[in-house]
Amino acid sequence: MTYSEENYLKAIYHLSLFQKKGVNTNAIAKMIDSKASSVTDMIKKLAEKNLVEYQKYQGVSLTAEGLLEAKMIVRKHRLWEVFLVEKLDFSWDEVHDVAEELEHINSEKLINKLDAFLGFPTEDPHGDPIPNAKGEIKKMDKKLLSELKLNQKSICVGVKDSSSNFLKYLDKQQIALGSTIEIIEKESFDASLIVLVNGNEMNISNKIASNLYVKTV
Amino acid sequence: MTYSEENYLKAIYHLSLFQKKGVNTNAIAKMIDSKASSVTDMIKKLAEKNLVEYQKYQGVSLTAEGLLEAKMIVRKHRLWEVFLVEKLDFSWDEVHDVAEELEHINSEKLINKLDAFLGFPTEDPHGDPIPNAKGEIKKMDKKLLSELKLNQKSICVGVKDSSSNFLKYLDKQQIALGSTIEIIEKESFDASLIVLVNGNEMNISNKIASNLYVKTV
DNA sequence: ATATATTTTTAGGCAAATCTAAAAATAAAT
DNA sequence: ATTTATTTTTAGATTTGCCTAAAAATATAT
Ligand SMILES: [Mn+2]
Ligand SMILES: [Mn+2]
Ligand SMILES: [Mn+2]
Ligand SMILES: [Mn+2]
């Protein structure tokens, strides 16, 4: 498989998590940062290889084979992110771009040895689940902080937006995976929150709260 | 730089170590496993980018810039080989192909962090020198076992041929980097040797002896 | 229901990297 | 010094992945 094919499969996979129907051509183009016509071309090729199901004008979905391939790419991406953070001291906002390259390295032995070396982690540095060697994903039940009830104690377990910008903001506010979070007041005017993060009171906007995953305790 | 351009630079670099004049088109084609016409095309592109010096029919050589680029690719290749052997328990005959892919990952931070993580190694698992971040190569004085004098004690420090085939043969004979080697008899008929490897007597052919580097002690 | 807007596909082209076959230059041999 | 052989370059195609612009299909609005 080429890098380009792998990137398309991954894009379709990510989009299909939020889209029960077929994934839209335009959505893929946006994610891959290319044009709709290019997407149509590639989709035809992937369909030819039985990696996606495709009917003209009806969007596209992964076949069982395509789904497994996509999960293996995601697995590699997230394992490399763990490696970069745990072993090479990268911060969580620096790993994505490098992992985008590393995810295409093609060696089953490499990735399984890396998995073992890292102690078979189940989540990446952003709290996203890492598929195991069979493609199985242990799903954690987590909710957005914006949906958390008042005075309900919780732990930060992930981010929805993992842009460098957002992650750096969290660093500055000393919010990290594992931080305890509790909402002590909701402002109805702008849906901002006053929260306790590791016991420290702070004010966060609704936008922030809508991009933080928490697990109630 | 594209993967292909990097592979050409690396090939020219390796060939230029044994060739004081310009490197031949055909030699590059052979190493890259492509055709002379393809090489000519690529050389023109590299010359355009000032990475090589090129005059029609006169072969090609690296510019200072091209040389540094080539060394950085070699650096990455060999550091990844160390990583695979030291951290992921690959054997020395399994690392080359994976390193061929990993060497193209493009992140200065990654490679320098990896270097530190590995403890700034100066040689790869085959005894080849690893250029430092500035491209400097510490050269060790080593000679081929076939050139070693009778009864001169030495240590195995590298292999000239690093094909999987040869490396597996060495494993079978329990010859490894660090093994002590001494020639106790030379057979003039076929230039084969009777040697002591870590004290064990064995017979090795001239071909083997011509592919093992040793350092006298 | 018809007109308008949006999405998707097709048609035709381009750049990178490769190839084969032919031509040109260089090297080797008589 | 010519001829012959080898090496290298050019010419012309091919494949992959992408693009723009136009056409076709689908969705939305009146
Ligand atoms: Mn990522
Ligand atoms: Mn991640
Ligand atoms: Mn190697
Ligand atoms: Mn090596």
**pLDDT tens digits in sequence order for chain A, 217 residues long:** 999 999 999 999 999 999 888 999 999 999 999 999 999 999 999 999 999 999 999 999 999 999 999 999 999 999 999 999 999 999 999 999 999 999 999 999 999 999 999 999 999 999 999 999 999 999 999 999 999 999 999 999 999 999 999 999 999 999 999 999 999 999 999 999 999 999 999 999 999 999 999 999 9
Average pLDDT over residues B108-118: 98
Q: Is the pLDDT confidence value at B28 over 90?
A: yes
CB-CB under 8 Å, A84 with B117: no
CB-CB under 8 Å, B101 with A113: no
**What pLDDT is recorded for position B20?**
86
CA distance A173 to chain B (A): 26
Q: pLDDT for B133-149, tens place per residue?
A: 999 999 999 999 999 99
CB-CB under 8 Å, A84 with B114: no
| Pairing outcome for strands B60-62 and A212-216 | unpaired
DSSP letter (8 states) at residue A18: T
B43 touches strand D (CB under 7 A): yes
Centre of ligand 3 to C-alpha B79, Å, is 10
The three-point CA angle B103-B81-B34 to 5° equals 45
Neighbours of B201 (CB within 10 A): 10
Sequence spans of domains, chain A: 3-62, 143-216
B45 touches strand C (CB under 7 A): yes
DSSP letter (8 states) at residue A121: -
Q: Which of A109, A111, A115, A164 best probes binding to B when mutated, by most B CB atoms within 10 angstroms?
A: A109
pTM for the full predicted model: 0.95
Q: Which residues fall within 8 angstroms of residue B61, CB to CB, at 6 or more apart?
A: B12, B16, B22, B23, B52, B53
Q: Which residues fall within 8 angstroms of residue B168, CB to CB, at 6 or more apart?
A: B93
**What pLDDT is recorded for position A88?**
98
Q: Is the pLDDT confidence value at B70 over 90?
A: yes
DSSP letter (8 states) at residue B100: H
**What pLDDT is recorded for position A20?**
86
End-to-end CA distance of chain B: 43
Q: For residue B156, list its beta bridge partners.
A: B214
Q: Residue A74 and residue B50: Cα distance in Å, rounded?
A: 38
A26 touches strand C (CB under 7 A): yes
Q: pLDDT for B32-45, tens place per residue?
A: 999 999 999 999 99
C1' (D20) to CA (A37) span, angstroms: 10
**What pLDDT is recorded for position B79?**
98
DSSP letter (8 states) at residue B141: P
Q: Are A200 and A174 in contact (CB under 8 A)?
A: yes
End-to-end CA distance of chain A: 43
Tell me if the domain spanning A143-216 has CATH number 2.30.30.90: yes
The length of chain A is 217
The three-point CA angle B45-B48-B51 to 5° equals 85
Q: For residue A183, list its beta bridge partners.
A: A195
DSSP letter (8 states) at residue B35: -
Return the closest-CA partner of residue B173 out of B159, B187, B185.
B159
What's the CATH number for B3-62?
1.10.10.10
